Structure 1
Amino acid sequence: MLQQQSLKQLRILKLIGMADALELQWSQPHTYDDLSFDERIGLLINQEVTSRDNKRLQRLLKAARFKITARLEEVDYTHPRGLKKSQFAALQSNDWINKKHNLVITGPTGCGKTFLACAIGHNACHQGNSVRYFRATRLFEALSIAHGDGSYLKLIAQLAKADVLIIDDWGLETLTQSQRNDLLEIMEDRHGSKSTVFTSQLPTTKWHAYIGDATLADAILDRLLHNAHKLTLRGESMRKLKSSLTEAEHLG
């Protein structure tokens, strides 16, 4: 009776990991006979810390809304696309996030830009950073809706708070004046305080012309590129080379 009451109180206090660990110790008493009281308490505390870390990670991953599930250990360095393992490994420490630097990944379609961005974001979540992922078209659509329904300032504030903001497939559609202004607001809020990741088929040399308005382009790119790490990919589409469909399956 006392055991159940203790478990109930621990769960009321939201010490779920500790409650589960204590229940396990009671269900397997002989397993822990040789441990001291301090050691058994230590196990309970470690389980609570682990439980909270796991729950926080799941919250961060859910909030990020990654397009795909990608991990750093799954990155393919054998494909000839100009991805240097040493250069990419330098990003895995998240030192660039701590220094509030940006990251730009450019290259042709199918070379793995989205996968790399999501893998980097996933790793950032594991290090306790908040991440938000958007395809550029969806981001601008959300901002347009926010302008209309009065939630613009709230959305802008949310974007400003994310430790890492990933804007994927940047440069596919011509920007409107409103979108240029929105992008400047985002970069102004994040400049020097948070990290932003851009992926694009367009080389950075064409970004100024793509933005369209020379004054706004100067302001945006100054905040985006001056402290940005750059991964420039090349080569044939990985989707094409890795296709496992046979001719019969294509026709079927």
Structure 2
Amino acid sequence: MLTHPTFDQLNAMGLYGMAKAFHDMAANPDADSLGHAEWLAMLLDRELALRHDRRLSARLRYAKLRHQAAPEDIDYRAERGLDRRQINELLTGKWIDNFENLILEGPTGVGKSWLACALGHKACRDNRSVLYVRAPKLFDELALAHGDGSFARRLKSLGAVELLILDDWGLEPLDAQARHDLLEILEDRYGRRSTLVTSQLPVAEWHNLISHATYADAILDRLVHNAHRIDIKGDSMRRIKTTKPT
């Protein structure tokens, strides 16, 4: 079968979804019964679907989410204190549009990081920029960035992303440099972007963790006062999966 000139023109214009759809429909005898408007609608649908898939793939690559978590897979059956209505409201992303924060706290293994990644995945689907970082690794990287002169560039990238997921916050006290860096990040994002924090420590203990009254007040003011909070309870999901009979 000779290649139709329209197929080549669509590819030349970068309309690869439409080109693939045109090729498939041209080889399908049933397509002859479609009108011009129906043909065009199907071509546009395929193009939009391809662009959405590519955009989502790019968002997810940049986000570097720790878990391949999807919102459809959130488990409400385990006794963790998750409120389905609250989670569904968060999944709409309105809190991100309003530049609000979210704090997920609870003991190790209850699924804080997984839930954070599910919310991040949904934000990527909604074409929002997301970045996942573990707090200990981030502070180590920023310490190196001070030395090689890349700190300003890294700070700018952290400030620009629409949803920053700061996982495993509070595993160890902050030193002077980490305190300063965290305040710079939050100051740059305050009222402009949203930050999601997961922590094993309750918020009431964060002031002592920061271990500097002035910095603690400034950091918590920018992070906590406009934050949604979810206290996840229950036994470790890892332990439950390990002991579950087969």
TM-score bracket, shorter-length normalisation = over 0.9
**Which residue in the other structure is 1:190 paired with?**
189
Amino acid at match of 2:64: R
**Match in the other structure for 1:223:** 222
Secondary structure of the corresponding residue to residue 33 of structure 2: coil
Which residue pairs with 1:57 in the alignment?
56
* Residue 12 (structure 1) aligns with: 12
- Look up the match of 1:142: 141
Normalised by the size of structure 2, how large is the TM-score? Answer: 0.95
Q: Indicate conservation of the 8 Å contact 2:15/2:47, yes or no.
A: yes
% identity of equivalent residues: 44
1:3-36 per-residue CA deviation (whole Å, 9 max, x = no partner) reads 35433332232211111111111221x2211111
In 2, Cα distance between the equivalents of 1:10 and 1:161?
Answer: 35
Q: Which residue of 2 aligns with 1:249?
A: none
Q: How does 1:199-238 map to 2 (within 5 A)?
A: 199-238=198-237
By how many angstroms is 1:83 displaced? 1.5
Secondary structure of the equivalent of 1:82?
coil
Q: What aligned pairs does 1:149-160 form with structure 2 within 5 A after superposition?
A: 149-160=148-159
- Aligned-partner SS, 1:104: strand
Task: Give deviations 1:8-67, integer Å, cap 9, x for gaps.
Answer: 332232211111111111221x22111111221121112111111110001001110011
Residue 114 of structure 2 is aligned to residue 121 of structure 1? no
Given that residues 172 and 209 in structure 2 are in contact (C-alpha distance below 8 angstroms), is that contact kept between their aligned partners in structure 1? no
Q: What SS does the corresponding residue of 1:132 show, helix, strand or coil? A: strand
1:170 aligns with 2:169: yes
Aligned residues: CA RMSD: 1.6
How far, CA to CA, are the matches of 2:13 and 2:178 in structure 1?
47
SS of the equivalent of 2:242 reads coil
Letter in 1 for 2:151: Y
Match of 1:108 in 2: 107
1:76: how far off?
1.3
Please give the per-residue CA displacement for 1:69-121, whole angstroms capped at 9, x wherever unaligned.
Answer: 01112111121222222222221111111111100000001111001100000
Looking at structure 2, the residues matched to 63 and 12 of structure 1 have their Cα atoms a distance apart, in angstroms, of: 28
Residue 21 of structure 1 corresponds to: 21
- Tell me how many residue pairs correspond in the alignment: 245
Give how far 1:245 is off: 7.4
What amino acid is aligned across from residue 148 of structure 2 in structure 1?
Answer: D
Distance 1:186 1:24 in 2: 50
* Letter in structure 2 aligned against 1:141: D
Unaligned runs of 5+ in 2: none
Q: 2:5, 2:172 → 1: CA distance?
A: 61
Once residues 101 and 48 of structure 2 are traced to their aligned partners in structure 1, the CA distance between those partners, rounded to angstroms, is 31
